[in-house]
Amino acid sequence: MSFPPEPSGRVVVTGVGAVTPLGTGVDVFWPRILAGESGVRRVTNVDPTPYTTQVAAEVPDFNVEDWFCEGFDKKDARRMDRFLHFAIAASRQALDDSQIELSEDLKNECGVLIGTGVGGLNVMYDNTAFIHNGKPDRVSPFFVPYMIADMASGIVSIINDLRGPNHTVVSACSTGANAIGDSMEIIKRGDAVAMLAGGSEAAVNDIGIAGFCACRAMTNRNDEPEKASRPFDVDRDGFVMGEGCAVLLLEDRNHAIARGAKIYAELIGYGMSADAYHITSPHPEGRGAAKSMNMALRKAKLAPEQIDYINAHGTSTPVGDPMEVSAVKRVFGDHAYKLAMSSTKSMHGHCLGAAGAIESLICILAMRDGIMPPTINLDNPDPACDLNHVAHTAQKRELTYVLNNSFGFGGHNVSLIMTKGE
């Protein structure tokens, strides 16, 4: 086969990596998701006492030294933002899992697209404090490079010597899904043979918590952290902020088959839209959400009745959850009551720009294992949210086609459709 191979027009997932509030590595994270465990705790990164929300889904026991390699050592790590640490770790996992051999030719054809909703907020906060304290000379020369959003893609490219397309996506909480969808299109049109794609976020710090508290978007259920995120439940009162990263290695199907790669899934549909309504609130009738789902179905060449499972955006907000259910009913009609739709944010929180990537990974693993992850804390279902939300306990089902929804501040909507790998 000539190199680069003639594009097949089909894009598959051949490697996966994750850093999440339920652990680092798919083998740690996935069993805890299926068991319905919560990763939400009282905040430990900072003192949460001054804030109305004092809980979050933080990544536990993450040791950046585990990921040191040529081009990334203790000195580099100390200068970098936490969201970059996560991106490096998840990317390394995805490459190792794929067993891809990065020849000189392939390095020229392998790119990186890792998005973030917020970027280097820790670096931003720490260096701004020097200005406020009258010490501008203390601002780090690495402040700008390690604060800007594109550096997750940049640093992963540098460390791994990947010379293909390299950029980032910033679309708030749709970012991770956008990054995967855009990477799929890059490969389909022949601009790369493979792409590391995903999202990374680490915004659980003073300014991040204060900002979202000021938006009045987060839960105030501080006395029961594990029960704070409760999508589709009548007692929900806002989202729980999370942090983490997921990265997928996407690959042209011809190339993957030629090298004998294991194939987790195939990406077949990608829909995008805008609510054009409000900076933080979704359109109440879900018109943008419905449009993105319909677009994904059209590109996947599927009828609505073929979708088995939806991983919902499902943030546990009073307005957002019923809006999404309403949009699903508009798109799927009577089939909405036959498919299942759960929100894993009930367990890993809302990881902002990483959410769509983490949840796409969950969709892939659900198909692989024939099991749908639960929505925990769904004790008193909202009458407006009357679908099969896989309450409390994972449900076994053979899954052929799954859909992942991601919606973000600014009215961004993204829907991805995946099917089993062959």
Q: What is the pLDDT of residue 329?
A: 98
Structure tokens at 384: 């407006």
Tell me what pLDDT residue 421 has.
Answer: 85
Judge whether 15 and 248 are in contact, CB under 8 Å. Answer: yes
Q: Is there a contact between 18 and 90 (Cβ–Cβ < 8 Å)?
A: yes
Residue-range domains of the chain with CATH: 12-258 (3.40.47.10), 271-420 (3.40.47.10)
- DSSP annotation of 6: P
> C-alpha distances in angstroms, 114 versus 154, 164, 176?
9, 13, 7
Positive or negative, the CA dihedral 288, 289, 294, 295 is: positive
User: Is 85 marked active-site?
Assistant: no
- Sequence-distant (≥ 6) Cβ neighbours of residue 156 within 8 angstroms: 87, 88, 91, 112, 114, 162, 196
d(Cα 185, Cα 141) in Å, to the nearest integer?
36
Report the pLDDT value the prediction gives residue 193, as an integer from 0 to 100.
Answer: 98
Nearest by Cα to 409 from 353, 360, 357: 353
* Assessment of whether the complete model's pTM goes beyond 0.95: yes
DSSP state of 409: T
CA distance 81 to 62: 14
Count CB-CB contacts under 10 A for residue 121: 23
Q: Which of 85, 283, 313, 389 is catalytic?
A: 313
CA distances from 371 to 46, 321, 343, 362, 397 (A): 37, 23, 14, 10, 5
The pLDDT of residue 21 is: 98
For 119, phi then psi, to 5°, come to 85, -150
For residue 2, the model assigns a pLDDT of 66
The pLDDT, as a whole number, for residue 5 is: 76
- Which amino acid, 188? K
The phi-psi region of residue 333 (left if phi > 0; otherwise alpha if psi is between -120 and 50; otherwise beta) is: left
Q: What does DSSP assign to residue 411?
A: T
Q: Helix or strand or coil: residue 43?
A: coil
**In angstroms, rounded to a whole number, what is the distance separating the alpha carbons of residues 365 and 355?**
15
Rounded alpha-carbon distances, angstroms, from residue 298 to 92, 184, 287, 309, 330: 34, 16, 16, 17, 15
The DSSP-derived string for 235-276 is T--SB-BB-EEEEEEEEEHHHHHHTT----EEEEEEEEEE--
In the annotation, is 173 catalytic? yes
From 350, 351, 385, 412, active-site residue: 350
Nearest to 198 by CA among 156, 240, 161, 159: 156
DSSP-based three-state secondary structure for 415: strand
In order, the DSSP letters of 306-373 are G--EEE------TTHHHHHHHHHHHHHGGGGGTSEEE-THHHH-B-GGGHHHHHHHHHHHHHHHTEEP
**pLDDT recorded at residue 218:** 98
Q: From the candidates 173, 213, 245, 363, give the one annotated as an active-site residue.
A: 173
pLDDT tens digit at each of 422 positions of the chain: 567 778 899 999 999 999 999 999 999 999 999 999 999 999 999 999 999 999 999 999 999 999 999 999 999 999 999 999 999 999 999 999 999 999 999 999 999 999 999 999 999 999 999 999 999 999 999 999 999 999 999 999 999 999 999 999 999 999 999 999 999 999 999 999 999 999 999 999 999 999 999 999 999 999 999 999 999 999 999 999 999 999 999 999 999 999 999 999 999 999 999 999 999 999 999 999 999 999 999 999 999 999 999 999 999 999 999 999 999 999 999 999 999 999 999 999 999 999 999 999 999 999 999 999 999 999 999 999 999 999 999 999 999 999 999 999 999 999 999 999 87
- Specify whether 313 is catalytic: yes
